[in-house]
């Protein structure tokens, strides 16, 4: 009789824990993040940690972009997720995809903005038309559907190498502009 009672209590307790976990994960996904870099000294104060994290942004039933990370730490009061080992796919017109990878990043879960960075080396952005963009830091602003950086940028492909500082990439019109100190070289 006691074992039946204990099993019932444990089953109820397990159900409450499962519901609490689902609530926490759901409320975190619908929050926001400030587009600033990760804050390593505060990671131990995260509200939740999630391995194999995925965050998808959709509009009118179509996926606009998806962020996947090896690990995420959620900060509910700041509407922010700090990410490690990040892969991002941005979907443009006609289902074209823009691929980005970085060591770390953050997501503003309310505004749906994110920042992606590399500790060493460059973020590699592979465009479908054969061009590749290299930079160490990129920020996505969801309201404008733009990727930006103020850091050094190199674009290679189709026999060209373009270097400069700063970038604005408008995904919907597939336009990428280096902002200053632009140098173009023809390469074989």
Residue 33 has pLDDT above 60, yes or no: no
- By the 10 Å C-beta count (0-12 exposed, 13-18 middle, 19+ buried), 168 is classed as middle
pLDDT band at 7 (very low <50, low <70, confident <90, very high): low
Is the entire prediction scored with pTM above 0.95? no
Mean pLDDT score of the chain, rounded to an integer?
Answer: 80
How far apart (Å, rounded) are the C-alpha atoms in residues 170 and 177? 9
How far apart are the C-alpha atoms of 32 and 76, rounded to whole Å? 8
pLDDT of residue 13: 47
Give me the mean pLDDT over the 64-83 stretch. Answer: 91
Give the sign of the dihedral formed by CA 121, CA 165, CA 154, CA 175: positive
pLDDT surpasses 50 at 174:
yes
User: Higher confidence at residue 37 or residue 64?
Assistant: 64
* Mean per-residue pLDDT, 93-114: 87
pLDDT of 25 reads 43
- The secondary structure of 148-161, three-state, reads EEEEEEEEEECCEE
The pLDDT score that the predictor gives to residue 3 is 62
Mark residue 184 as left, alpha or beta (left: phi above 0; alpha: psi -120 to 50; beta: remaining). beta
Question: Do 105 and 114 contact (CB within 8 A), yes or no?
Answer: yes
Mean pLDDT of 125-135: 84
- In this prediction, residue 40 has a pLDDT band, given cuts at 50, 70 and 90, of very low
> Mean pLDDT across the stretch 16-44?
45
Regarding beta strands 97-108 and 113-117, do their DSSP bridges make them parallel or antiparallel, or are they unpaired? antiparallel
* Tokens 């592979």 found at: 126
Q: Residue 27: pLDDT above 60?
A: no
- Mean per-residue pLDDT for 167-183? 89
Q: Is 145 helix (H, G, I), strand (E, B) or coil?
A: coil
């Amino acid at each position: 009789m006691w074992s039946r009672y204990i099993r019932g209590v444990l089953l109820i307790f397990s159900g409450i824990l499962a519901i609490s976990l689902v609530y926490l994960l759901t409320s975190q996904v619908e929050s926001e993040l400030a587009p600033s870099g990760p804050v390593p000294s505060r990671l131990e104060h995260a509200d939740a940690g999630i391995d194999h994290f995925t965050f998808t942004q959709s509009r009118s039933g179509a996926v606009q972009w998806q962020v996947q990370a090896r690990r995420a730490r959620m900060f509910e009061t700041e509407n922010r997720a700090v990410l490690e080992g990040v892969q991002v796919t941005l979907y443009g017109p006609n289902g074209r995809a823009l691929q980005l990878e970085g060591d770390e990043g953050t997501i503003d879960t309310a505004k749906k903005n994110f920042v992606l960075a590399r500790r060493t080396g460059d973020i590699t952005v592979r465009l479908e038309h054969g061009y590749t963009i290299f930079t160490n830091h990129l920020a996505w602003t969801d309201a404008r559907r733009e990727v930006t950086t103020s850091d050094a940028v190199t674009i290679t492909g189709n026999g060209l190498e373009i270097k400069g500082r700063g970038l604005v990439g408008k995904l919907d019109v597939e336009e990428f502009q280096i902002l200053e100190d632009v140098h173009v070289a023809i390469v074989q």
